[in-house]
Structure 1
């Protein structure tokens, strides 16, 4: 583990794979930590020769926290967004996209393949919009374009998204909550290893339990709104959209809108996949990411 310090921010990161490999940055979603990524996905990309760079977004894991901002008032933020009013937030998705460029600066990397998951997919889209010279290829996984009027989460998934995370959970309660999350937004078409889910949750809790950052990440997304939609067609990097056909949190229509808006984008829809990474689907996802990166080489 190591840190890059740029513009007053400390970004915790880890690299795997050969130093001479093509750099590939994984951008995580709401409140996730760099160890949240499935080892099978990371190892698969390393086996393809990539130098994989994982990092904690600001306000998550071991990167700079924004606790002085206090807990996010999500109810008020959603109400303001529905009324098309400005949403106050300590930072936006645009700021988080700039963090990816800061990370590359700190590592001395001119450009990289950018792979984002969920809210990290939205951040990855913004990296390609705001810093096109830094993006060799783009992969947006289980993410929306942010366009108004797209399919909404299921009732259970929507309730999970807007729920305030409790700062006083015990380790055991956190593991229980992780299992419940998997049941709510996970993949209905694949077997669920609840013991593995509990084990990963325990390691996340031990490393850094900062639930209020989850809410501020969501607040950043609400504050950014649909501002990136009009710029998606400007993305020139080879783009792949990966989505689960049965995602209850970000329905597949949201991913289809990304693929239909970014020119020459390709899309991989995985039947039975929800808003997680079912192990049997990981090899297909790795292959698709590598094939998309190869498009950049041919270009």
Structure 2
């Protein structure tokens, strides 16, 4: 891992594969870190001929935080008051663009998951010359009323910060059980390992809340997505409770020529049993470019 200054933000990143191969940027989701991309999944992408770049978004992991801004007023934001919004998804997209520029990458295949899919979409809108192909996984367009979580999944999002490490790990495991893939349940020990690794590397619930504020304060991307010309793939779990499949369907419907891959049994995670199918689809979409 290494750190660069991009777009006024210190960004921690990692690369996997040969710098001589086409670049592929992985963008993670709400409150997630670069380690949330499963190592085996990343290695599969690199083995298929990509120079994979993954990073911590601002306010997560080891990248710059915005604690000095304070906490957003989520009810106020929903009511139309944006005065407590620290940044928008367009700023996160600018961070990603800045990272690529600092690494000397003029153009990359871009793959985003959840909020990362939103950032990937925004990057494609704001910097189309930098995006060779777009893959949006378990994400949505920002259109109001689309991709709304179930009550149980929404409760995971608004859970209060944990008092200590044990509570944080337990909460993360419980949340993963709620939003994870019912057709491919992860082993308990694996969920605990991931949760502990994330806590030990960077537990930043305030940053997660600011990222959430960026999501709800950012505009609907549907009009812009209608102008996208990069080959686009939308992947979604048929059983996703956090961003239901209508979010993916709306994304695919908005982008001309987009391909939609709906995976039965998949929820809001990347089960190991589906890595091969997902990687194959990403590779095929990249070849369209």
Which bracket does the TM-score occupy, shorter chain normalised? over 0.9
Structure 1: runs of 5+ lacking an equivalent: none
**Conserved? CA contact 2:112–2:137, under 8 Å:** yes
Partner of 2:243 in structure 1?
Answer: 250
Partner of 2:77 in structure 1?
Answer: 77
Partner of 1:59 in structure 2?
Answer: 59
* Corresponding position: 1:39 with 2:39: yes
Cα RMSD of the aligned pairs, angstroms, is 1.3
Note closer, same or farther for the CA distance 1:43–1:133 as it changes in structure 2 (3 Å cut). Answer: same
**Conserved? CA contact 1:88–1:223, under 8 Å:** no
**Conserved? CA contact 2:238–2:262, under 8 Å:** yes
Partner of 2:168 in structure 1?
Answer: 174
Shift of 1:77: 2.3
Structure 2 counterparts to residues 242-281 of structure 1, below 5 A: 242-281=235-274
TM norm structure 1: 0.93
* Corresponding position: 1:112 with 2:105: no
- The one of 88, 92, 100 equivalent to 2:88 is 92
Q: Secondary structure at the match of 1:187?
A: coil
* Corresponding position: 1:155 with 2:148: no
- The one of 185, 189, 195 equivalent to 1:195 is 189
Partner of 1:232 in structure 2?
Answer: 225
**Conserved? CA contact 1:28–1:34, under 8 Å:** yes
Shift of 1:72: 2.6
In structure 1, distance between residues paired with 2:147 and 2:19: 42
Partner of 2:133 in structure 1?
Answer: 137
Partner of 2:23 in structure 1?
Answer: 23
In structure 1, distance between residues paired with 2:54 and 2:154: 28
- The one of 209, 216, 225 equivalent to 2:210 is 216
Q: Secondary structure at the match of 2:10?
A: strand
- The one of 235, 241, 248 equivalent to 2:234 is 241
In structure 2, distance between residues paired with 1:36 and 1:20: 25
**Conserved? CA contact 2:71–2:84, under 8 Å:** no
- The one of 196, 202, 205 equivalent to 2:199 is 205
Shift of 1:86: 4.3
Structure 2: runs of 5+ lacking an equivalent: none
Superposed CA offset, 1:53-86 (max 9, x none): 00000111111110001123223323x15xxx54
In structure 1, distance between residues paired with 2:146 and 2:202: 34
Partner of 1:49 in structure 2?
Answer: 49
Q: Secondary structure at the match of 1:169?
A: coil
**Conserved? CA contact 1:113–1:136, under 8 Å:** yes
Instruction: Indicate the larger mover: 52-61 or 191-200.
Output: 191-200
Superposed CA offset, 1:106-148 (max 9, x none): 1011010000000110010000000000000000000011112
**Conserved? CA contact 2:76–2:82, under 8 Å:** no
**Conserved? CA contact 1:244–1:252, under 8 Å:** yes
In structure 2, distance between residues paired with 1:285 and 1:150: 23
**Conserved? CA contact 1:187–1:274, under 8 Å:** yes
Q: Secondary structure at the match of 2:90?
A: helix
